[in-house]
């Protein structure tokens, strides 16, 4: 059997980094890890092609070659998924779908032949067994959570690594917290489940052997969910791995209580981690309490962020406006907090109610849902009827974005960060694509960009005062170009 593993295209969002990636002649941030893992579960005799529509096209020749298409997607890819499914069905090939989008709303995809939902380690073998007998059912689901010690290493050889800015790896699933707006625990549970150190090293070695040198994203929703294993096993092993092979830098997601463990932070830095995304959400204590964000309450969030950055971890922050406890004063509070903290990559979005969350259930009971969530963070829209009023929320949101991504404020945060951050202890080699991006940034930002004065002031300051952080300064300048482009095209138009 010949199968296509299709990943629908992402729309233009903050997280797509499309405009930044163009300067480096890259197509996407990272390959679809879920599909590459599914590929490793398929019979070895099957023909397999990865069609990531973020980096390539789905051709008629692909459809003629294939007997079936396996499609995975997230909520933000909903429209693109519908288009791909329609094209596959028109070509007369069987469609099998799985992943977060279909697990949440498979009823909306009537053209799909089979749904393999929840965690594939449990449902996919059942589907394959029934398929071999000619008895495949339409829906495979489970309420159990998989033992990810049994997860296979992804088939990296299916991905054209040259087209991606980074690779991905999953160490754990699940999160010990239960924020009202988040669906991670619905999908993966409260108890963090981890891969063995041997599995992680095998996946890294697989990437290394395929010729990858560069950034690797640990996609865990909360990397520090099992601190004991991290400190006693995984991080010491990563530190040694970097000494013998190396050439990688790592980034991940974690909760703010990472800042409480100085030893853990230092070990992460020693292992090659240089960036961590943290859900800050809001400086409003009442909104943190309302949303069940207990790990962020009653602490000096700005101080925690600065402590992490001074240790060598760039903090990327997620922020939300539109909680019931928010008043119009929240917009300036968010701006002040973001500027003070020195979080350069500040992802601010309107509150969205995702299916399967406590927030969704509560607002549905109160008749405060407008529609299904789009999962898209590049519009001033929400599926929630906000307490403060929709127009007030939308206008305040635009004020935040207009302010924090203005060249003056953005480059001010870049300099604040560069003044405080310790240079990375482990650095991936500067690739040809990075050098090309730097040259293009000089042209796009330093010569013709409206921000050219701010650009040169920060670049020259960095060269003279923090030269080891110059590659980081260039990267952040390019990110700023992407963020301003997104805001201008989709939100502040």
DSSP 138-169: SEE--SS---GGGPPPP-GGGS-GGGBSEEEE
Cα–Cα distance between 209 and 2 in angstroms, integer? Answer: 26
Assess contact for 97 and 106: CB atoms under 8 A: yes
Cα–Cα distance between 223 and 171 in angstroms, integer? Answer: 8
Cα–Cα distance between 264 and 235 in angstroms, integer? Answer: 9
Question: At residue 382, what are phi and psi to the nearest 5 degrees?
Answer: -145, 155
Assess contact for 11 and 76: CB atoms under 8 A: yes
Q: Bridge-partner residues for 148, per DSSP? A: none
Assess contact for 437 and 483: CB atoms under 8 A: no
- Among candidates 371, 451, 352, which has minimal Cα distance to 409? 451
pLDDT the model gives residue 430:
67
pLDDT by residue for the chain (493 residues), tens only, comes to 999 999 999 998 888 888 888 888 889 999 999 999 999 999 999 999 999 999 999 999 999 999 999 999 999 999 999 999 999 999 999 999 999 999 999 999 999 999 999 999 999 999 999 999 999 999 999 999 999 999 999 999 999 999 999 999 999 999 999 999 999 988 898 899 999 999 999 999 999 999 999 999 999 999 999 999 999 999 999 999 999 998 899 999 999 999 999 999 999 999 999 999 999 999 999 999 999 999 999 999 999 999 999 999 999 999 999 999 999 999 999 999 999 999 999 999 999 999 889 999 999 999 999 877 766 656 678 999 999 999 999 999 999 999 999 999 999 999 999 999 988 876 666 666 667 778 878 878 888 788 899 999 999 999 999 999 999 999 999 999 999 999 988 887 7
- Among candidates 450, 477, 441, 439, which has minimal Cα distance to 461? 477
Tokens 């339409």 sit at which residue? 138
Global pTM? Answer: 0.94
pLDDT the model gives residue 376:
64
- Among candidates 208, 170, 175, 212, which has minimal Cα distance to 190? 175
Cα–Cα distance between 173 and 338 in angstroms, integer? Answer: 29
Spatial neighbors of 211 by CB under 8 A, at least 6 apart, are: 161
Distances, alpha carbon 306 to alpha carbons 310, 311, 421, 459, 470, in Å? 6, 8, 8, 22, 19
CA 337 to chain centre: 23
Task: Please work out, in degrees rounded to the nearest 5, the angle formed at the alpha carbon of residue 393 by the alpha carbons of 276 and 334.
Answer: 40
Q: What is the dihedral of CA 194, 224, 274, 339, to 10 degrees?
A: 140
pLDDT the model gives residue 168:
97
- Among candidates 479, 434, 441, which has minimal Cα distance to 459? 441
Query: Over the range 52-77, which residues count as b (16 or more CB within 10 Å of their CB) and which as e?
Result: bbbbbebeeebbeebebbbbbbbbbb
pLDDT the model gives residue 371:
78
What is the longest distance spanned by two Cα atoms in the chain?
68
Spatial neighbors of 127 by CB under 8 A, at least 6 apart, are: 96, 114, 116, 136, 137, 140
Distances, alpha carbon 19 to alpha carbons 156, 444, 480, in Å? 25, 11, 10
Question: At residue 6, what are phi and psi to the nearest 5 degrees?
Answer: -110, 130
- Report helix angle 432-441 to 470-486, nearest 10: 60
Question: At residue 476, what are phi and psi to the nearest 5 degrees?
Answer: -65, -35
């Amino acid at each position: 059997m010949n199968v296509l593993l299709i990943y629908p295209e992402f729309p233009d969002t903050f997280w797509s980094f499309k405009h930044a990636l163009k300067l480096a002649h890259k197509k996407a941030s990272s390959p679809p890890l879920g599909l590459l893992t599914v590929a490793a579960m398929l019979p070895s005799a099957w023909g397999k092609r990865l069609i990531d529509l973020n980096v390539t096209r789905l051709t008629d020749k692909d459809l003629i070659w294939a007997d079936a298409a396996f499609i995975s997607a997230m909520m933000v890819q909903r429209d693109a998924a519908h288009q791909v499914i329609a094209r596959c069905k028109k070509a007369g090939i069987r469609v099998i779908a799985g992943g977060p989008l279909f697990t949440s709303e498979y009823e909306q995809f009537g053209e799909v032949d089979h749904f393999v939902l929840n965690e594939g380690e449990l449902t996919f073998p059942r589907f394959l067994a029934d398929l071999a007998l000619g008895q495949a059912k339409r829906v495979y689901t489970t309420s159990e959570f998989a033992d990810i010690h049994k997860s296979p290493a992804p088939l990296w050889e299916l991905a054209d690594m040259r087209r991606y800015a980074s690779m991905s790896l999953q160490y754990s699933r699940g999160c010990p917290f239960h924020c009202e707006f988040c669906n991670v625990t619905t999908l993966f549970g409260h108890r963090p489940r981890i891969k063995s150190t041997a599995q992680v090293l095998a996946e890294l070695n697989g990437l290394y052997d395929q010729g990858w040198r560069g950034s690797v994203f640990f996609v865990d929703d909360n990397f520090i969910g099992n601190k004991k294993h991290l400190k006693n096993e995984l991080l010491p092993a990563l530190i040694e791995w970097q000494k013998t092979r190396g050439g990688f830098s790592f980034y991940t997601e974690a909760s703010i209580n990472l800042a409480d463990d100085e030893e853990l932070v230092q070990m992460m830095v020693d292992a090659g981690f240089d960036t961590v995304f943290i859900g800050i959400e809001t400086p409003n204590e009442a909104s943190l309490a309302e949303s069940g964000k207990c790990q962020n309450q009653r602490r000096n969030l700005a101080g925690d962020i600065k402590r992490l950055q001074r240790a060598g971890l760039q903090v990327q922050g997620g922020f939300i406006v539109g909680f019931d406890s928010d008043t119009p004063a929240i917009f300036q509070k968010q701006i002040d907090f973001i500027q003070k903290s020195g979080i350069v990559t500040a992802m601010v979005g309107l509150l969205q109610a995702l299916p399967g969350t406590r927030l969704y259930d509560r607002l549905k009971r109160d008749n405060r849902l407008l529609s299904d969530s789009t999962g898209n963070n590049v519009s001033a829209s929400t599926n929630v009827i906000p307490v403060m009023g929709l127009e007030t929320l939308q206008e305040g949101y635009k004020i935040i974005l207009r302010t924090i991504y203005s060249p003056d404020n953005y480059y001010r945060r870049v300099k604040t960060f560069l003044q405080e951050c310790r240079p990375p202890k482990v650095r991936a080699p500067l690739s040809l694509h990075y050098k090309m991006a730097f040259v293009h940034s000089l042209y796009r930002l330093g010569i013709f960009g409206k921000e050219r004065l701010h650009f040169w002031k920060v670049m020259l300051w960095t060269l003279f005062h923090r030269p080891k952080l110059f590659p980081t300064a260039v990267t952040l300048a390019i990110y700023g170009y992407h963020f301003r482009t997104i805001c201008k095209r989709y939100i502040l138009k």
